[in-house]
Amino acid sequence: MRATRHSSRSRYVTAAIIGATTISLSLWGATAAAAQNADLGEPNFVTSPNVRQVANVPATAPLLGGGARSSDLAFTGDYAIGGNYNGFTIYDIKHPKKPKIVSQVLCPGSQGDVSVAGDLLFYSVDARRSDDSCKSTAATDPEKYWEGVRIFDISDKANPKYVKSVETDCGSHTHTMVPDKAGTDVYLYVSSYGPSTSIARCKPPHDKISIIKVPLANPTAATVSSAPVVFPNGGNSGIPGSFPDHHVRETSGCHDITAFPEKDLAAGACMGDGVLFDISDRAAPKVIEQIQDNANFAFWHSATFNNDGTKVIFTDELGGGGAATCKPEIGQVRGADGIYDIVGTDLVFKSYFKIPRHDSEICVAHNGSLIPVAGKDIMVQSWYKGGVSIWDFTDSANPREIGHFDPLPSRIGPSGTWSAYYYNGYIYSNDGQQGLDVLQINDPLTDEAKSVHQKVFNAQTQYSLRHGNN
């Protein structure tokens, strides 16, 4: 596909003052300003003709440098929340071509996976900290530390307040917000892994997830309600080997779970296994299907349903997000997406999808979401420095890319795009070092999606087009 070059240099924006919070936050004062694209200098990305960048908000202190790295995204109303290894940023996206930073919270504890429910923001911490406060430091004592989920009140977007922490075994690498059926509580399915006999509250085999129950009217009462074992008979035992020839990660927990509450289903990407859950009882999910792909999948990283909940896309994060796996010698079926149809309770493999461009930088399948088009299965997805890909899997056996945004090596920064999600007519991409990119696709296949308005969006909590969330 012919590519079009654009410039993405922008004037820097600064952060608004964060006020006092229940648990002290580090403060960072400045004035928020609109992001502007400057059409100057050499272009540092290429796009397909149907994709263009309409804005960029550069990464800025205090969430720049010092171990900071942008991660996941969540959306509520006219706001986007960008997670970061050192905290989070709230953006005003009422005018997507002129997004503004409203506030930034400096509260270290990687990796900063975020989700929203009403006025509550949930933030994952998967790093042992000296305590649960935002002034904590990296813990060195394997017996005395804290990690888990922090809960913030974001009713005042310019002044988020830290209201509660909940500790979980092995921390919270990611979490999935699952509403209860009564609308009074939400459950957080906490995924974590990496147990060790030397860590006090993260001993092997760690074949479980933690479930936090959060009463929406009283979030300070949030607590771990259960810790169901996902793999009572053990998960994938792993296949050792030197990357990238053949190495399958041993299952010791899950990396990410995506829920489809309407269908009472969830899909889990659990290191060496793909899992389908029945979540009709939110507090006690049950495994109804467990699959492996030891020939081609090294690390089951994340999952996405199609709009009807009849398919699941699983991603393989070959190389752990730190290697160039889009090289010709790796091939098109490793470090890729696996497309599975749901037939009854079975996951039936149909095909793989991988971006059709070679890249010598860090490149592998990562976070993405559906573009809401009725009768079509179209996804936008991050590939680290492989950029953003828009692809159609309506025909499960024959997926194809229909658009892309591809950063060039001149776009400095070690990580590339972490998350790319479609929200109310635009694609928002959270780049590890380059800040928030706002993209727009103009294509007959996706134009219908521009009329779909969502009130809230968490990529790991999916709804059909018929649901009242839209």
The rounded percent of the chain whose pLDDT value lies above 90 is 83
- pLDDT above 80: residue 5: no
Instruction: From 248, 283, 291, select the one nearest 267 (Cα to Cα).
Output: 291
Residue 76: exposed, middle, or buried by beta-carbon count in 10 A (0-12, 13-18, 19+)? buried
- pLDDT of the residue at 18: 34
Q: What is the residue extent of each domain of the chain?
A: 4-458
Mean pLDDT, the chain, rounded, equals 89
Q: What is the DSSP string of 365-388?
A: --BEEEE--TT--EEEEEBBBT-E
380 touches 422 (CB < 8 A):
yes
Confidence of residue 345 (pLDDT cuts 50, 70, 90): very high
Q: What is the mean pLDDT of residues 344-356?
A: 97
pLDDT of residue 411: 75
> Which residues sit opposite 162 in a β-bridge?
152
pLDDT at 19: 36
Task: Reply yes or no on whether the pLDDT at 194 is more than 60.
Answer: yes
For 389, the enclosing helix (H) or strand (E) is strand 388-392
**What is the pLDDT confidence band of residue 467, given thresholds at 50, 70 and 90?**
low
Q: In this predicted model, what pLDDT tens digit does every residue of 103-139 receive, in sequence order?
A: 999 999 999 999 999 999 999 999 999 999 999 999 9
CATH architecture of 4-458: 7 Propeller (2.130)
Q: What is the DSSP letter of 222?
A: -
When comparing pLDDT for 409 and 171, which is higher?
171
Tell me how far apart the alpha carbons of residues 306 and 316 are, in angstroms, rounded to a whole number. 18
DSSP string of 90-118, one letter each residue = EEE-SSTTS-EEEEEEE---TEEEEEEET
- So what's the pLDDT on residue 470? 55
pLDDT tens-digit map of 434-453: 999 999 999 999 999 999 99
Q: Give the model confidence (pLDDT) of 148-161 as tens digits.
A: 999 999 999 999 99
CA distance 387 to 420: 9
Question: Measured between alpha carbons, how far is 440 from 116 in angstroms, rounded to an integer?
Answer: 24
